[in-house]
Amino acid sequence: MRLLKVATCNLNQWAMDFDCNLNNIKESITRAKQSGAAIRLGPELEITGYGCEDHFLELDTVAHAWECLKDILLGDWTDGILCSFGMPVIRGSERYNSQVLCLNRKIIMIRPKMWLANDGNYRELRWFTAWKHKELVDFQLPSEISTALSQQTVPFGYGYIQFLDTAVAAEVCEELYTPIPPHAELALHGVEVFMNASGSHHQLRKLDLRLRSFIGATHSRGGVYMYSNHQGCDGGRLYYDGCSCVVLNGDVVAQGSQFSLKDVEVVVAQIDLDALTHLYTVKILYVMVHAVAQAVSHDGLNFPMTGQVASLRGSISCFQEQASCNPKVPSVATPYKLCQPFNLQMPLSSPLEIRYHSPEEEIAFGPSCWMWDYLRRSGASGFLLPLSGGADSSSVAAIVGCMCQLVVKGVENGDEQVKADAIRIGHYTDGEFPTDSKEFAKRIFYTVFMGSENSSEATRMRAKVLATEIGSWHLDVSIDGVVSALLSLFQTLTGKRPRYKVDGGSNIENLGLQNIQARIRMVLAFMLASLLPWVHNKPGFYLVLGSSNVDEGLRGYLTKYDCSSADINPIGSISKQDLRRFLRWAATHLGYASLAEIEAAPPTAELEPIRSNYSQLDEVDMGMTYEELSVYGRLRKIFRCGPVSMFQNLCYKWGASLSPAEVADKVKHFFKYYSINRHKMTVLTPSYHAESYSPEDNRFDLRQFLYNVRWPYQFRKIDQLVREFDGEKPALAKLSDEEKVGVASDGGMGVVAAGSDDPKAGL
Ligand SMILES: Nc1ncnc2c1ncn2[C@@H]1O[C@H](COP(=O)(O)OP(=O)(O)OC[C@H]2O[C@@H]([n+]3cccc(C(=O)O)c3)[C@H](O)[C@@H]2O)[C@@H](O)[C@H]1O
Ligand SMILES: Nc1ncnc2c1ncn2[C@@H]1O[C@H](COP(=O)(O)OP(=O)(O)OP(=O)(O)O)[C@@H](O)[C@H]1O
Ligand SMILES: NC(=O)CC[C@H](N)C(=O)O
């Protein structure tokens, strides 16, 4: 029997904060050692933080990473435990994103990343070179390190470490998701343990995709797959969502949290790499030992199994055939044993039922954890939210409420860091600390309803009730005096006073009057956020929260520099549809009952006067439904559709209820407004990234912002296709639902399935 105990971790690193990162790393090693683990894996680029971006171009960053590594290696941290540290390494003139593998105060091997993440939010090729050679070369350690460690060189490149009792290899994040992942070849060389150091961000409904990859990696070829990820906001729009885990032969045997306020979480599993013992015996042992530390069987049928890796591989004929003729992969021989012999005191981990959060929980917990990190690291004393009583700002309020609940839970569970941060931010004195989320919210959360003559009593009351449920310090102010002061000023300047459309004004007047209200709210919000703490004898400032959703951004249905311009926005890349689901969930699960009524109300900007025959509604104003917007957004971004291919796809998808000419009108309408308003994306409030169809212009969706909004070439082609389709209409109408190809699946990312999004269903 070869019993191996492995530890992986979620670390809440902060880009460029080397002290914070080093402390977390040391803490994780301490806990790994306490658990008796022989391997400790940390996340990708953990020493610097993953999100340093152009700081990686600074030599200081790499130098500081070496200094931190030296600090670790000069102490007893790596004694008796193989540690993988993520850091940038320069070799010659190239910089590599590397896993540095250390044991007993020596560096055993440096494994540079071979396939870099370079799409979506990732731009690793801007900072790193990919190592493309299938070999190990000698790497001369920086002189300060080599002197301190008495070690001149280290093997650098692709390969694995051959210990006396097992073989271990690194696979760096993205490499796992490539068409030919390194682990496939390494497994054929007898590598039994894979260490994947990752920097992977949260995206709604993405976890499944990730877990399927770990499972797929080890299901047919066997092996132990260790995954480590960052967890938290390391200084940007992304939330790294942890979920460090250990997978054995396709079964998850240890799983860390996806959302948590903890800075360090260590996930441990114990595996037997060797012989297969009779299940019954194992079951008895399991009962006898009665404590499988990290792995608890959910259904009672999965017991810890011995002999998992070698035995499985030995039973697959093709595996052996391919292994026998596989080209050689270099290795580093390390005369050291990682495994223990059979020992009843060391219980084995069993397969777990994988824990997934629902999308509603993801919306609640991801942004709240991100906001907590942002708050505690920004030096602010709290948040201020312009709360309209509508769905969007109420979702943001609920997320802040959820954050307060998580903080109180963290304190209750004895998390000293959360407690210290909460005491500092909430300005508790005399040994007091938060014990009630509402009381905590009162200290760190201002909500402000800024009503105008166009606001309804219903929204004013909804804002007030929700604020009470959450516990925020709520203000209810009227901005009419400021609006009329501005209008009087304008009248003095020009002699003219604009009127609303319902009162006979033009479109320009109507828009001008709406935008005055929207922008005054922004100015007022920032004023209150900076001065209210002073009024209440608190030091510091509050961060202004924005609350426009991804669909409004895509369509441009927001006033540039209005109340959607804020310091940060937790829902800027979440769709209206998902927010509504979240509100229904939060009404019961977060205990804010009024959210149910808020969700049920039709979305309105309340910027125009309400008359008996007119009341402003978002979907009417926009000329499209939020449901349609989600479809356009996904086709545009995820499926990279231009106007013509979007039209073609939607003809299939909506063909049963809309004619090609109607589809063409919708597509043109969308592209017209998308392009008219694209400039607004350049000044979008930094938002939590949660959705792969985000139109966020600064880091994610890189496109021009000055368009020919008539799209003459593309729209002409659409018109031509409409004429052609009109001739073929009967043929198209004959297609059954199953035959309508629509949009292909996006691999589990929650994209519309064919035929599922009839635009009329949402009306
Ligand atoms: N190509 C370009 N590049 C750079 N900037 C450009 C530009 N074209 C216009 N601009 C600038 O943008 C301005 C137009 O933008 P903006 O001032 O926003 O005005 P605009 O987009 O015309 O109107 C805002 C729309 O959002 C609606 N709204 C407002 C508030 C809340 C809500 C809601 O419920 O969610 C909806 C409102 O009813 C209205 O339909 C122009 O005056 C110009 O200054
Ligand atoms: N009466 C109001 N009081 C306070 N803030 C407001 C008010 N009206 C609008 N806002 C703020 O301006 C933002 C944009 O206003 P808009 O009317 O577009 O709301 P929205 O995007 O539809 O969101 P909501 O669903 O929260 O009303 C809101 O999210 C809110 O933060
Ligand atoms: N750091 C990386 O290699 C990222 C890999 C991948 N795109 C992810 O989100 O997990």
What whole-number distance in Å separates Cα of residue 653 and Cα of residue 751?
13
Q: Of ligand 3's atoms, which has the minimum distance to the CA of residue 174?
A: 3
Q: Give the other-Cβ count within 10 Å of 585's Cβ.
A: 19
pLDDT for 247 beyond 50: yes
State the average pLDDT over residues 40-57: 98
Q: How far apart are the first and last CA of the chain?
A: 64
Q: Of ligand 1's atoms, which has the minimum distance to the CA of residue 518?
A: 30
Q: Is 548 in the pocket of ligand 2 (CB under 6 A)?
A: yes
The β-bridge relationship of strands 245-248 and 136-140 is: unpaired
pLDDT band at 293 (very low <50, low <70, confident <90, very high): very low
- Can 388 be counted among the known catalytic residues? yes
Pocket test for ligand 2, best of 552, 555, 563 (most atoms within 8 A of CB): 563
What whole-number distance in Å separates Cα of residue 418 and Cα of residue 369?
11
| Cβ-based burial of 59 (10 A; exposed 0-12, middle 13-18, buried ≥19) | exposed
| Residue 308 confidence (pLDDT) | 65
- What's the CA-to-centroid distance between 273 and ligand 3, angstroms? 29
Q: Is 391 in the pocket of ligand 2 (CB under 6 A)?
A: yes
- What's the CA-to-centroid distance between 601 and ligand 2, angstroms? 14
Phi-psi region of 143 (alpha: psi -120 to 50; beta: other; left: phi over 0): alpha
Residue nearest to atom 3 of ligand 3 (CA): 174
Half-sphere exposure of 244 (CA within 13 A, CB side): 32
133-153 residue pLDDT tens: 999 999 999 999 999 999 999
- Residue (of 438, 498, 499) closest to 469 by Cα position: 438
- Can 173 be counted among the known catalytic residues? yes
Q: What percent of the chain is helix, strand and coil (3-state, nearest 5)?
A: 45, 15, 40
- What's the CA-to-centroid distance between 388 and ligand 2, angstroms? 5
Residue 658 corresponds to which tokens in the numbers above?
Answer: 């809309």
| Residue 1 confidence (pLDDT) | 83
State the average pLDDT over residues 114-118: 97
Q: Is 691 in the pocket of ligand 3 (CB under 6 A)?
A: no
State the average pLDDT over residues 203-208: 91
181-204 residue pLDDT tens: 999 999 999 999 999 999 999 999
What whole-number distance in Å separates Cα of residue 507 and Cα of residue 504?
10
- Residue (of 130, 14, 146) closest to 69 by Cα position: 146
Contacts of 248 (CB under 8 A, 6+ apart): 218, 223, 224, 225, 269, 271, 308, 309, 349, 351
Residue nearest to atom 21 of ligand 1 (CA): 559
Of 325 and 700, more confident: 700
- What's the CA-to-centroid distance between 558 and ligand 1, angstroms? 6
Q: Of ligand 1's atoms, which has the minimum distance to the CA of residue 556?
A: 21
Q: Of ligand 1's atoms, which has the minimum distance to the CA of residue 548?
A: 35
pLDDT for 341 beyond 80: yes
Q: What is the dihedral of CA 330, 335, 336, 339, to 10 degrees?
A: 70
62-81 residue pLDDT tens: 999 999 999 999 999 999 99
Contacts of 341 (CB under 8 A, 6+ apart): 1, 2, 3
Pocket test for ligand 1, best of 452, 509, 515, 682 (most atoms within 8 A of CB): 515
Global confidence as pTM: 0.90
| Residue 37 confidence (pLDDT) | 98
The β-bridge partners of 266 are 9
Q: Is 398 in the pocket of ligand 2 (CB under 6 A)?
A: no
Total H helices, total E strands in the chain: 23, 20
